[in-house]
Structure 1
Amino acid sequence: MNGPHTQVAMPAEDLEDLYENAPCGYLSLQPDGRIVKVNRTLSTWIGIPADQLLGKRLHDLLNTSGRIFYETHFAPLLRMQGFFNEVALDLVTVDGRKLPVLANAMERRAEDGALLFTRVTMFQAAERRRYERELVDARAAADAAGATIKAKLAFEQQTAELREQFIAILGHDLRNPLASIAAAARMLRKEEQSDRSTKVLDLMQGSVVRMSGLIDNVLDFARARLGGGIVLDRRAEELEPLLRQVIEELHYSHLDRRIEVSIELVGPINCDSSRIGQLVSNLLGNALTHGTPDEPVRLSAATLDGRLELWIANGGAPISSDAMTRLFQPFFKGEAGTSPRGLGLGLHIASEIARAHGGTITVSSDDKETRFTFVMPLD
């Protein structure tokens, strides 16, 4: 007979049953991204037997937009930091339904750093998504009514479509060829090269790194359109080496052009140097594209009176007054007859970077020169 303090023995936990019938989905990925193990919970959610999921890739289980987001954002994030948490994804069930989930992932590596496998857990998030949508709807209803609500929803829809368009463009049209360039540069670097070739390959590698960063930065455009703005990582750094690298990168793609440079910077500057490099690259690239070929492009950077002042000038026909009012708007590609290259985002992103630093970009243009001037406070 059990006394008042007698403990009832609990059955031993069955770890295999815990894995297979856990209240969340489990799967493990090989280094090549293919599924090597999946639990019964996840296979039941999507209606596909576990043995039929083996060998598939995670993005095979996602809808189209989910695949784009995963390949262009979450997969690179996983490779960069080895994990991600609470990523919203939509699985596709066997009957075509969308199953919202929140995913967490963690890489497992050997002592030498080699990737062994990646563990992923998933939790159903339909109720959470529904709750979030209800909060948004309630707030919109409280803020305004009638035509105001309709205009706001139309703007949000337009912004969402714009973000999807950019992610698709960046994911497919830029990342793939950039990866090929990086691979080719690494292969050539292993072969014997002249000093000049080595320098060019080093510049290519640096450009690939910068371009990869720029692609990620352009993704911020969608967030900026939703009100988030450009995110900075400010620290005190010497800017001159970065400016020299940007100038040299662009000069190698415009060998027939002359760039006159004057840099007089005193001490480190508190800024996001990669963003400043992006700003300068956009302005200098714009000047090389639109300036008169037989006249030099001039760049000046100096610290004076508690501010950083950087300007880039080129010769050529002046900018019309109508174009001047729209220069910094997204997707503005200039006037008829100018170069059609690019998405028309360079000047817009440059102005957003300046604004995030508490600075400004102004432009002046006449028959003598067109000059873009960036000024930001040093404090």
Structure 2
Amino acid sequence: MTGADTQIAMPAEDLEDLYENAPCGYLSLQPDGRIVKVNRTLSTWIGIPAEQLLGKRLHDLLNTSGRIFYETHFAPLLRMQGFFNEVALDLVTVDSKKLPVLANAMERRAEDGALLFTRVTMFQAAERRRYERELVEARAAADAAGATIKAKLAFEQQTAELREEFIAVLGHDLRNPLASISAAARILRKEKQTDRAIKVLDLMQGSVVRMSALIDNVLDFARGRLGGGITLERRAEHLEPLLRQVIEELRFSHLDRAIEVTIEFDGPINCDSGRIGQLVSNLLGNALTHGAPDEPVRLSAATVDGKLELWIANGGAPISTEAMTGLFQPFFKGEAGTSQRGLGLGLHIASEIARAHGGTITVSSDDKETRFTFVMPLD
């Protein structure tokens, strides 16, 4: 006999044992709904001998809510279509515990349509019920979390709107008195004044320039954090007059400092000139603040090979490696122990303006000089 002809000897299937000890519960109902046959599996589950179950109705094995549900939903469904599948029921065991099951039922009828009996199978469903319950609880928790998140988003939106209103009020209410102070200082500066008065007026004018720059930085930073970022209004403009105006404003507020300027542009430059002026003001103000007071601050701006290259250099102590890592971060305060004026936003705003123009700002620093370089492609 070859291997292909070999067959495993199987014992004859015992249909009675298959019925009695099946992995599911079996019962049969006569037309009046009384149990006429039940297998050992089901009787073992509920702890009631099979002979004691005979003559009972199916709803007698259910808890109160299950009886109501069975009589009002499942029994009519069975009578109407002759079967039902995966109906969730709760059997009551001999010790009054609840046994969750899933029931399937099918009627058997004679040729003339008369009901002969109804076969019912039941499968234990405790694990499935627990899973379904956990799923429902998880969904309810997710819905609650979603509602919480939605409420938080609504609150954040309302807060953002209030912040925007605050920013608008801040810009308006601070700029107007500064403009009045600046105008008054210029008027008095034109009149005959003592040397001391002239010095005080110059200090006032310098403070106005610095305060205006602080307001610009705060507003831009706040808008950026609210999601607006740095906004640009680009157009082709001659940039040199604006740069020289910014330089003169800072020179006027730092009368004791030397600023050396070289500007070589081929023609108009497509950019937001106001933002570029703000960038230069921040970089130049930073150099005047931190540079050696006895050395000049140098500024160079030129168009070279399809790019705008602008750098500002100052003498003095080099920037440490540790400080380099956070130089362009908001609220950066520089070296520990150094005297700081401002909020630490100037370099951050300058870098954001450069990025909005598609450009970059880099920095190099050694014992000879510290140089910030802005490079922007020319469209």
Query: What is the TM-score with the length of structure 1 in the denominator?
Result: 0.52
The answer to whether residue 51 in structure 2 is matched with residue 45 in structure 1 is no
Q: Deviations over 1:62-103 (max 9, x none)?
A: 999999999999999999999999999999999999999999
Structure 1 unmatched ranges of 5 or more: none
Residues 52 and 205 (structure 1 numbering): CA distance in 2 closer, same or farther, change over 3 Å? farther
Q: Please report how far the alpha carbon of residue 258 of structure 1 lies from its aligned counterpart in structure 2 after TM superposition.
A: 1.1
- Evaluate the alpha carbon distance shift between residue 99 and residue 8 of structure 1 in structure 2; reply closer, same or farther with a 3 A threshold: same
Aligned 8 A contact 1:230 1:353 in 2: yes
Structure 1 residues 296, 45: closer, same or farther in 2, change over 3 A?
farther
Moved more, 60-69 or 135-144: 60-69
Structure 1 pair 145–56 and aligned structure 2 pair: CA distance change class (3 A) = same
CA 1:274/1:51 → structure 2, altered by over 3 Å: closer, same or farther? Answer: farther
Indicate the percent of aligned positions where both proteins have the same amino acid: 91
**Contact map agreement 1:141 1:149 (CA 8 A) in 2:** no
Distance across 2 between alignment mates of 1:118 and 1:342: 88
- 3-state SS of 1:146 partner: helix
Greater mean alpha carbon deviation, residues 21-30 or residues 122-131: 21-30
Bigger mean CA deviation after superposition, 171-180 or 332-341: 171-180
Alpha-carbon spacing, 1:179–1:261, altered in 2? closer, same or farther (3 Å): closer
Q: Distance in 1 between matches of 2:205 and 2:81?
A: 21
CA distance 1:310–1:157, change in 2 (3 Å): same
CA 36–160 in structure 1, closer or farther in 2 if over 3 Å, else same: farther
Counterpart Cα distance in 2 of 1:177 and 1:110:
101
The worse-fitting range, judged by mean Cα deviation, of 271-280 and 157-166 is 157-166
Runs in 1 of length 4+ with deviation above 6 angstroms?
Answer: 1-159, 192-211
Aligned mates of 2:41, 2:256 — CA distance in 1: 63
Cα offset, 1:355, TM superposition: 0.6
Counterpart CA distance in 2 for 1:71 and 1:241 is 92
Task: Specify whether residues 255 and 216 from structure 1 end up closer, same or farther in structure 2 by C-alpha distance, changes over 3 A only.
Answer: closer
Using a 3 Å threshold, how does the CA distance of structure 1 residues 93 and 327 change in structure 2: closer, same or farther? farther
Structure 1 residue 185 displacement after superposition: 3.9
Q: Structure 1's 205 and 58: CA in aligned 2 closer, same or farther, altered over 3 A?
A: farther
User: Do the aligned residues in 1 keep the contact of 2:209 with 2:250 (CA within 8 Å)?
Assistant: no
Residues 225, 196 of structure 1: alpha-carbon distance in 2 compared, 3 angstrom cutoff: same
Q: Report the Cα distance in structure 2 between the residues aligned to 1:124 and 1:19, rounded to whole angstroms.
A: 16
TM-score (norm 2): 0.52
The question of whether the paired residues in 2 share the 8 Å contact of 1:207 and 1:249 is answered with no
Moved more, 242-251 or 14-23: 14-23
SS in 1 for 2:5: coil
User: Is the alpha carbon distance of 1:216 and 1:114 closer, same or farther for their aligned partners in structure 2, counting shifts above 3 Å?
Assistant: farther
CA separation of 1:138 and 1:293: change in aligned 2, threshold 3 A: farther
- Asked whether the equivalents of residues 29 and 37 of structure 2 are also in contact (C-alpha less than 8 Å), the reply is yes
CA contact (8 A) 1:232 1:356 kept: yes
Q: Structure 1 residues 374 and 256, CA, compared in 2 at 3 Å: closer, same or farther? A: same
Equivalent pair of 1:162/1:222 in contact (CA under 8 Å): no
Aligned partners of 2:314 and 2:96: how far apart in 1? 56
| Superposed displacement of residue 59, structure 1 | 73
Q: CA deviation at 1:321?
A: 1.1
Measured in 2, the distance between the counterparts of 1:204 and 1:110 equals 110
* Gap regions ≥5 residues in structure 2: none
* Structure exhibiting the larger radius of gyration computed from Cα positions: 2
1:77–1:84 Cα contact (<8 Å) kept: yes
Q: Is the 8 A contact 1:107 1:115 kept in 2?
A: yes
Identify if the C-alpha distance between structure 1 residues 103 and 201 changes in structure 2 by more than 3 Å, giving closer, same or farther.
Answer: farther
* Offset, 1:175: 3.3
**CA shift in 2, pair 1:10/1:319, >3 Å:** farther
Distance 1:240 1:172, change over 3 A: closer
Query: How many equivalent pairs are there?
Result: 379
**1:112 and 1:125, CA in 2 relative to 1: closer, same or farther beyond 3 A?**
same
Q: 1:290 to 1:105 in 2, by over 3 A?
A: farther
Post-superposition Cα deviations, 1:81-131, rounded to whole Å, max 9, x if no partner, equal 999999999999999999999999999999999999999999999999999
Aligned-partner SS, 1:87: strand
* Structure 1 Cα separation of the partners of residues 69 and 203 of structure 2: 30
State how far apart, in whole Å, the 2-side matches of 1:12 and 1:315 are: 103
Q: Per-residue displacement from partner, 1:201-255 (whole Å, max 9, x unpaired)?
A: 9999999799758735642322211322101111111111111111111111111
Higher mean C-alpha displacement, 115-124 vs 262-271: 115-124
- Superposed, which structure 2 residues align to 1:330-341 within 5 Å? 330-341=330-341
